[in-house]
Amino acid sequence: MSSFESTVPGELGDPAVGTAEVPEPGAVTIVVPTFNEAGNVPELLRRITESVPARLPCEVVFVDDSTDDTPGVIVRAAQDCPFPVTVLHRERPTGGLGGAVVEGLRAATSDWIVVMDGDLQHPPSLVPELVGSGERSGAGLVVASRYIKGGSRAGLAGGYRIAVSRGATWLTKTLFPRRLRGISDPMSGFFAIRRSAVTADILQPLGYKILLELAVRSRPRQVTEVPFVFQDRFAGESKSSAREGFRFLRHLAGLRTASPVARMVVFGLIGATGFLPNLLGLYMLTAVGLHYLPAEILANQFGVAWNFLLIEHLLFRERRRHRNRWDRMGRFALLANADLVLRIPLIALFVRHFGMGALSATALALVTTFVLRFAGTEALVYLPRRSRAAEADGGSRGRGHTTRGDV
């Protein structure tokens, strides 16, 4: 990697940037995740050169998932930059844009890390103000917000995208009122964070809303905001899609069920929905003449299969890699059917030895077997065994899916 003395004599004339006071040391690593942004990279580096190195030392780390010539364009454009530029090209884009940002956080060497998009909708001229605001306030996280005084979502073209953005913001703030307190724009992809305030290894990004992931899993105690005007895309097309929207909803579900209590509640709600396929199966089997007892045993498997599919995709999606699908399915079915076998002896125990009525004994047995089934599902189906976890961790480190290039 080579670095150069900054030769930029002045500022761009942006009033906010012109008044920013950045105490030394104010070094910053600018992390830019890219996917086919070849048309934007030269202009992005030119604007960073004009507005950042004269104010504070910087480096730029591109984490690239492109299928075009973006890495080559970065290397060529970086030759004229008065700061170090690094390209990390990922052969496997694990975690999408959020995963790329986490790779950038790991590679950063500066006290501050600024995350921004590569399409110039986030103005590079605001980077010194983000860092300066954090230094002045002592905050660990500084969010560039479109929704405070002085900010605007002007570059968010189309009523549909505006409605989706506002809806997503409302939904996330409703689901995480405590964690997102003081953050008016949790959907922002433009923010600064102290390197000491984040532990990259605890992040589990899925899709492009990395700020939400950071705020929920690793929120610094003090957060401040700086207004910014969301710009028009300089070149290329937006990567937003319906698929990304579904990934965002799955990500929300994963974050919301991160605590054991929340997981247990969702587990119970999913289990309740299993009554529908169970009853439907019982109706169909008895309608063709099957006796109700074997029909109930078979119909219960419909409910078990339904619950397994929902739990796999909504509750334990991130833990499916610890065992193969058939192993998980077999263990889950065994636990679900053991619930029926265990419930009858428990009811008899509560009635005979504790003098409970049949109704209250049945209710208590249902609660007891539910808690046991939840704990068993977590421990026996979705938690990794230590030896396998260590083996998987070592294997992933040895595969080397990231190519690093320093300019």
| Distance (Å, whole) CA 233 – CA 155 | 7
| pLDDT of amino acid 45 | 95
pLDDT digits (tens, 9 = 90+) for 315-328: 777 677 778 888 88
| pLDDT of amino acid 19 | 37
More confident residue, 368 or 53: 53
pLDDT band at 204, cuts 50/70/90?
low
Q: What is the chain's Cα-based Rg? A: 26
To which residue do tokens 């030769």 refer? 7
What b-and-e string marks burial along 359-385, b requiring 16 or more CB atoms within 10 Å of the CB?
A: eebbebbeeebbeebbebbbeebbeee
- Spatial CA neighbour of 124 closest among 81, 72, 165, 187: 81
Instruction: Write the DSSP symbol of residue 34.
Output: E
Cα→Cα distances 227→34, 140, 192, 280, Å: 24, 17, 13, 55
Q: Which H or E run contains 133? A: helix 127-137
pLDDT digits (tens, 9 = 90+) for 130-160: 999 999 999 989 999 988 888 877 655 556 5
| pLDDT of amino acid 41 | 93
φ, ψ for residue 102, nearest 5 deg: -60, -40
Does the pLDDT at position 392 exceed 60? no
CB 52 within 8 A of CB 128: yes
Cα→Cα distances 327→96, 270, 391, Å: 28, 21, 19
| pLDDT of amino acid 24 | 45
Mean pLDDT of 289-315: 81
Instruction: Note the pTM of the prediction, 2 decimals.
Output: 0.60
DSSP assignment of 88-111, as one string? EEESS-TTHHHHHHHHHHHH--SS
Mean pLDDT of 179-197: 85
CB 101 within 8 A of CB 63: yes
| Distance (Å, whole) CA 81 – CA 210 | 27
Mean pLDDT of 2-27: 38
Q: By percentage, how much of the chain surpasses pLDDT 70?
A: 74
Mean pLDDT, rounded, of the chain: 76
CB 98 within 8 A of CB 209: yes
Q: By percentage, how much of the chain surpasses pLDDT 90?
A: 19
- CB-count burial class (<10 Å; 0-12, 13-18, 19+) for 355: exposed
| pLDDT of amino acid 402 | 40
Does the pLDDT at position 287 exceed 90? no
- Spatial CA neighbour of 55 closest among 4, 17, 16: 17
Mean pLDDT of 291-310: 82
pLDDT digits (tens, 9 = 90+) for 75-106: 999 998 999 999 999 888 777 777 888 888 88
| pLDDT of amino acid 93 | 76
Mean pLDDT of 342-353: 80
